[in-house]
Homo-oligomer: A and B are copies of this chain.
Amino acid sequence: MSFDARIRAAIEGDIRSGTLRPGNRLLSEHELAALHGCSRATVSKAMGALHRAGLIERRRKAGSFVADQHVHSAVLEVPDLAALIAARGHVYRWQLLSRRLSGSALHVEGLHHEGDTALALETRSIAIDTVPQAAQESFDTIAPGTWLLAHIPWTSARHRIRAAGASAAEARALGVAENTACLILERSTWRGDAAVTTVRQVFRGDMFDMVAHFEPSRT
């Protein structure tokens, strides 16, 4: 095991076991280097990883401290529907319902099918100022999300996840009863300061869920 991993494991172990408790001060980088018999640069790398993992806080002059426990973040897997459905052993299909150019936005509506069943209703608007090529696309066979992914990189995104009963129109499109519980994912995507696309996906609650993981201490 590398020095880096060894130092991280030692400190992480002390935190997990309670030997080091939240707020406690860690040894300085100089002291840890001497303790482990390695250079300060290596200690710095290990401490940086612990910091990114949220296990410690670092303050100049004051030192490094065990961070408070937090359940407050996890890595959410945002699904690629085509891949997800294929992994389940079903056929994926995109069905375009409408396409309308209005002002500087292209509005697209369609259904994501899993086999013969509609899994999600998608309502999207694309900023043609940011993605002018989109105006030339029909989106009748390729889902706009797939197309966008291949044509324009984004730099930031915000997701909102909630539950709501299907409206009459949504229920009709998905082939479920009105007010059936649905998972609604709203995503806005930017490239720098320019909006790229905003999408709302209404998933049948009985056919879909999302998974998120937390794992500590990447390298």
Contacts and interface: CB of A to CB of B under 8 A. Distances in A.
A163 B210 CA distance: 10
A71 B191 CA distance: 13
Contacts of A79: 72
Report, as a range, how many residues of chain A touch the other chain. 35 or more
A104 B194 CA distance: 54
A76 interface: yes
Interface in A66-96: 69, 71-80
Interface in A169-219: 179-184, 191-192, 203, 205-206, 208-216, 218
B76 A74 contact: yes
* Copies of this chain in the oligomer: 2
Nearest to A210: B161
- Count chain B CB atoms within 10 A of each CB in A72, A74, A80, A210 and give the residue with the most: A74
B158 A213 contact: yes
A75 to B, nearest CB: 5
Nearest to A217: B155
B73 A203 contact: no
A212 B192 CA distance: 18
Contacts of A211: 158-161
A150 interface: yes
Given A41-B41, A179-B179, A183-B183, 18 more contacts: A16-B155, A16-B191, A18-B153, A52-B218, A69-B149, A74-B159, A75-B76, A76-B76, A76-B212, A161-B212, A162-B183, A162-B208, A163-B163, A164-B181, A164-B205, A164-B206, A180-B181, A181-B182
